Amino acid sequence: MADSDEHLIKDALAGNQRAYEELLSRHRQSIYHVIFKIVRHPEEANDLVQETFMKAFSSLASYRFEYRFSTWLYKIAANNAIDHLRKRRIEALSLDKPLQTHDGEVSIEIPDWSNNPEEDLFRKRRAVTVKEAISTLPPKYKEVIVLRHQQDKSYEEIAEQLHVPVGTVKARIFRARELLKKKLKSVI
């Protein structure tokens, strides 16, 4: 079958209309099943089968014979169906225009959560509490926590700066975090 697909493709590229028709009838059903599994609507699947073959036949010259024709078609079909689903999902509502319902127009109001004074205050207090807890750590632990979490340095950079092995840096950071957890457990 793959051999005859190859001959049909070559004939189609040479302009033989019957070769196109034969490729279409040979692969139509399997392409329909691939697409239907993705979109789940028979009418949409039929339309997408047509689109798939149009795309495939328009780029038939780029088909590479070392691959199976059916695999190439399946890929085009699946991509086509996925693109269709993406386009279908994009149904946006205008925030400026009222929404039409059976009872009339309804304005869309969206709450503004961008400025929440209570949340801002909580975050600021937590940041101050964490900084205070860090300041109470023994110097060797405080130093690695500041370098790692406030200055975003890697373990290797910290080890180089402090002239200690990377393992020591990791151990100190672990111990510093454990001490901070204990200190902050009752506060936060």
Cβ contacts of 2 within 8 Å, gap of 6 or more: 68, 69
Q: What is the pLDDT of residue 115?
A: 76
First to last CA, the chain: 70
Is the pLDDT at 174 greater than 70, yes or no? yes
Integer Cα distance of 124 and 120 in angstroms: 6
What is the pTM for the complete model shown? 0.48
Residue 110: how many CA atoms within 13 Å on its side-chain side? 7
Domains of the chain, first to last: 2-89 (1.10.1740.10), 117-185 (1.10.10.10)
Model pLDDT, residue 116: 78
What pLDDT score was predicted for residue 138? 94
Encoded tokens for 167: 């393992």
Q: What is the mean pLDDT of residues 163-174?
A: 94
Residues 99-148: tens digit of each pLDDT:
777 777 777 676 666 777 888 888 899 889 989 999 999 999 999 999 99
Reported as a single tens digit per residue, the pLDDT across 60-102 is 999 999 989 999 999 999 999 999 998 887 656 666 777 777 7
Which of 9-18, 142-151, 179-188 is predicted with the least confidence, judged by mean pLDDT?
A: 179-188
- Reported for 139-147, long-range contacts at CB under 8 A and 24+ positions apart, including other chains, are 140/172, 141/172, 141/175, 141/176, 141/179, 142/176, 144/169, 144/172, 144/173, 144/176, 145/173, 145/176, 145/177, 145/180
Residue 119: per-residue pLDDT: 83
Whether residue 48 contacts residue 35, with contact meaning beta carbons closer than 8 Å, is answered with yes
- Mean predicted lDDT score pLDDT of the chain: 88
> What are the angstrom distances between the C-alpha of 75 and each of 31, 70, 81, 86, 185?
10, 9, 10, 16, 54
Mean pLDDT of 46-57: 95
Which residues, including other chains, have CB under 8 Å from residue 91's CB and lie 6 or more apart?
none
User: Is residue 15 scored above 60 in pLDDT?
Assistant: yes
Q: Report the pLDDT averaged over residues 28-36.
A: 95
Residue 91 pLDDT: 59
Q: Are 63 and 109 in contact (CB under 8 A)?
A: no
